[in-house]
Copies of this chain bind each other. A is one copy, B any other.
Amino acid sequence: MAGRGEFDLIADLFAPLTSSTPAALGLKDDAAVFSVPEGFDLVTTVDAMVEDVHFFPADAANLVARKLLRVNLSDLAAMGAKPIGYLLTLVRPSTVGEDWLQRFAHGLAADQRTFNIGLLGGDTVSTAGPLVLSLTALGQVAAGKSLLRSGANPGDTIYVSGTIGDAGLGLALVQDPEGQGFDNVSRDDRNALVARLQCPEPRLELGQALAGVATAAVDISDGLVADLAHIASASDVGMKLVLSDVPVSDAAARIVGTDENSRLKLIAGGEDYELAFTAPESAASRIRKISKDLELSITPIGTVTAEKIIEVRGQNGDSLPVTSSGWTHF
């Protein structure tokens, strides 16, 4: 394809990203070649981001790069996999110049160091439309030990890592820059919540620690209930969640308060990229140890049920209406 030739044009920017991945052959060959160690399975996933849909021209290019990488690493985390590297497709309008690409490459380089991975290959093509970024991430997991969505059993406890709803609230703050409805949000809280949106933390260490411990896992991209529904569907089970048990950050709690409807809307927000998973009661102490070792909160929020419905329970035990749209306003 013409893409190979065009990729040469920005080889100055992208070839250095392969310095830690000899498999990429310096982007000078037709494809990358590498070995998966004996006893490991290969895990692979792809996620794309489109200008004006998933990010905006004014967004910092290095953060766009890091989010693109991190949402894919989050998928690997949800499978219990350790990342190896990635392939990148850059569909570039002429308005995206070398400056933007340089900042984008810097963002990738920074996260490559953070996650100890490298670029394996790519294609760059031109477009008359918006900038499109597609990234295929590759990882490895001990053979047969990958976390699937399909293993949850009735009686299992449902857990989530970290706090839920921050990224959705961050999005509301970004979309409402004049602070309508958010007048009293402190600069620190605003920054913390927007950072959760713009630079999520893939829970790679947690995912790897949960391989062989959790019965099912998913990363929270669409929203807590929406993503747990994927486990319920794949495992042929139901779920009972306790709203007040869902962990919320101090920053989010200060904005949203304790009202049940507000909390329901808060936890419907997506893009937190925490892991939600299920595990039998017998794994509880092991999970507490993982939490302590990783210095990452892991909170039980409900129970897997045989009855195939998903319920969120309020303080007085009532079943609350599940909200599918995230936080927007008070």
Chain A residues with a Cβ under 8 A of chain B: 1-5, 25, 28-36, 38, 41-50, 52-54, 71, 75-76, 78-79, 81, 87-89, 91, 120-123, 125-130, 132, 134, 136-139, 141, 143, 146, 148-150, 218-219, 221-222, 226, 230, 233-234, 270-271
Contacts and interface: CB of A to CB of B under 8 A. Distances in A.
Given A1-B48, A29-B148, A46-B89, 15 more contacts: A3-B48, A5-B222, A30-B79, A31-B43, A33-B42, A33-B43, A34-B42, A46-B88, A46-B121, A46-B134, A46-B136, A50-B126, A54-B125, A89-B89, A91-B91
Contacts of A125: 48-50, 53-54
A43 B50 contact: no
A31 B50 contact: no
A41 B84 CA distance: 14
Copy number of this protein in the oligomer?
Answer: 2
A266 to B, nearest CB: 18
A44 to B, nearest CB: 5
A50 B91 contact: yes
Contact of A47 (B3, B29, B32): B3
Given A47-B1, A89-B48, A28 B230 contact: yes
